[in-house]
């Protein structure tokens, strides 16, 4: 987004310098995978939001550059470990760390990135370090808790929609809120403004994940970038599936359980039949409604923020563009 072009320049320069440091550190077997991972790119939304959270209060965004780097390092640590847990061969179109090197190196490099993240945030301005570390530590453990809850769901027969929202809040959304609030801390924003910015990011994150669930079923293959219906094929407990079990009558629930558990149905037919049940119950529309409710909550918090109107509008446009997903 053009409004944040200068912030992207600051961010990318800092990440490139960090990558160079990692690539030239020893032992290289531990540090090169770390440099490789952050060099894969991605949208870098989270560290950008840290700079935005500082800039929105009229403070030089470079003040928050260490906090932004810490967020990016933490996020990539979580991706390395997620890829191990998921046995994923690719990340951003390239080999995952455990595939390019091996399982043990991936574990150690991921651990190293987590430690580096805390080391980098501790290089922030002394007056901000305590509050930054307190928030960063809280968020880090919540993300891990969210990942464990997601893993727990795989073996549970029933999970409620409320439990699912709690899980994605921790696994995905709190890091967006944290990213923005860390920037606000660096800008010396008051607690009320910090809370509004955190909650804005959190609700945007919840909406994003629910819309991602919708896209997995209803997106066009060439625009989605991954297999449509993958969540259905793997019996993943998404908002759509859980809402269906909540609303289904006895016949629909029986059909859904049969399709999910049958070994004789092809993946293509499985996706088709489950989607048909979703359509009967209007699940897509209910999921979009839920996402819109969280988007509205996010915008309410942004409205309450004491900051320049043009900067608030830039953040609003950025968030809405992030949530503008093609079905």
- Whether 63 and 135 have beta carbons less than 8 Å apart is answered as no
Element (H, E) at 246: helix 239-247
- C-alpha distance across the termini of the chain, in Å: 22
DSSP string, 119-165: HHHTTS-HHHHHHHHHHHHHHHHHHHHHHHHHHHHTT-S---HHHHH
- Whether 7 and 48 have beta carbons less than 8 Å apart is answered as yes
pLDDT at 42: 87
DSSP string, 39-65: TT----HHHHHHHHHHHTTT--GGGGH
Mean pLDDT of the chain: 95
Q: How far apart are CA 59 and CA 52, in angstroms?
A: 10
Nearest to 101 by CA among 34, 157, 158: 34
- Whether 96 and 106 have beta carbons less than 8 Å apart is answered as yes
Q: CB neighbours of 155 closer than 8 A, spacing ≥ 6?
A: none
CA 167 to chain centre: 12
State yes or no: pLDDT of 41 exceeds 90: no
Model pTM greater than 0.85?
A: yes
Long-range contacts of 256-259 (CB under 8 A, 24+ apart): none
pLDDT tens-place string over residues 302-322? 999 999 999 999 999 999 999
pLDDT tens-place string over residues 130-177? 999 999 999 999 999 999 999 999 999 899 999 999 999 999 999 999
State yes or no: pLDDT of 71 exceeds 50: yes
Nearest to 112 by CA among 81, 137, 88: 81
Percentage of residues in the chain having pLDDT higher than 70: 97
Q: How far apart are CA 86 and CA 234, in angstroms?
A: 12
Element (H, E) at 278: helix 267-281
Number of helices (H), then strands (E), belonging to the chain: the values are: 17, 2
- Summarize the confidence of residues 97-124 as an average pLDDT: 97
- Whether 293 and 206 have beta carbons less than 8 Å apart is answered as no
pLDDT tens-place string over residues 199-233? 999 999 999 999 999 999 998 765 545 567 989 99
- Whether 301 and 199 have beta carbons less than 8 Å apart is answered as yes
Could you tell me the two tokens for 75? 């996020």
- Whether 294 and 203 have beta carbons less than 8 Å apart is answered as yes
Where helices occur in 174-225 by DSSP H, the ranges are 174-186, 191-218, 221-224
Q: How confident is the model at residue 58 (pLDDT cuts 50, 70, 90)?
A: very high
Counting Cα atoms < 13 Å in the Cβ hemisphere of 153 gives 25
Q: How far apart are CA 45 and CA 178, in angstroms?
A: 12
State yes or no: pLDDT of 61 exceeds 60: yes
Could you tell me the two tokens for 70? 């810490």
pLDDT at 326: 47
pLDDT at 327: 41
């Amino acid at each position: 987004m053009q409004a944040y072009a200068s912030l992207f320049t600051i961010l990318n320069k800092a990440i490139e310098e960090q990558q160079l440091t990692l690539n030239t550190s020893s032992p290289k077997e531990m540090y090169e995978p770390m440099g490789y991972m952050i060099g894969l790119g991605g949208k870098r939304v989270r560290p950008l939001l840290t700079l935005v959270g500082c800039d929105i209060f009229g403070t030089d965004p470079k003040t928050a550059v260490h906090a932004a780097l810490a967020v990016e390092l933490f996020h990539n640590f979580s991706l390395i470990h997620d890829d191990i847990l998921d046995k994923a061969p690719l990340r951003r179109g390239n080999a995952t760390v455990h595939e390019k090197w091996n399982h043990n190196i991936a574990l150690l490099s991921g651990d190293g990135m987590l430690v580096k993240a805390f080391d980098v945030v501790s290089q922030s301005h002394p007056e901000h370090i305590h509050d930054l570390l307190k928030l960063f530590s809280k968020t880090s453990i919540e993300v891990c808790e969210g990942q464990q809850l997601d893993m727990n769901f795989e073996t549970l027969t029933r999970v409620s929609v409320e439990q699912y929202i709690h899980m994605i809040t921790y696994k995905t959304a709190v890091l967006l809120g944290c990213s923005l609030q860390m920037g606000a801390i660096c800008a010396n924003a008051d607690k009320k403004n910090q809370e509004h910015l955190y909650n804005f990011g959190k609700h945007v994150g919840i909406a994003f994940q629910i819309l991602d669930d919708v896209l997995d079923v209803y997106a066009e293959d060439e625009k989605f970038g991954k297999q449509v219906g993958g969540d259905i094929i793997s019996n993943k407990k998404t908002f759509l599936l859980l809402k269906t079990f909540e609303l289904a009558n006895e016949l629909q629930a029986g059909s859904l359980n049969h399709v999910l558990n049958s070994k004789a149905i092809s993946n293509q037919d499985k996706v088709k039949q489950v989607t048909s049940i979703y359509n009967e119950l209007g699940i897509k529309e209910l999921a979009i409604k839920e996402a819109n409710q969280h988007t509205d909550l996010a915008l309410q918090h942004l409205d309450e923020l004491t900051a320049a109107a043009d900067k608030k509008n830039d953040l609003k446009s950025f968030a809405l563009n992030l949530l503008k997903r093609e079905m």
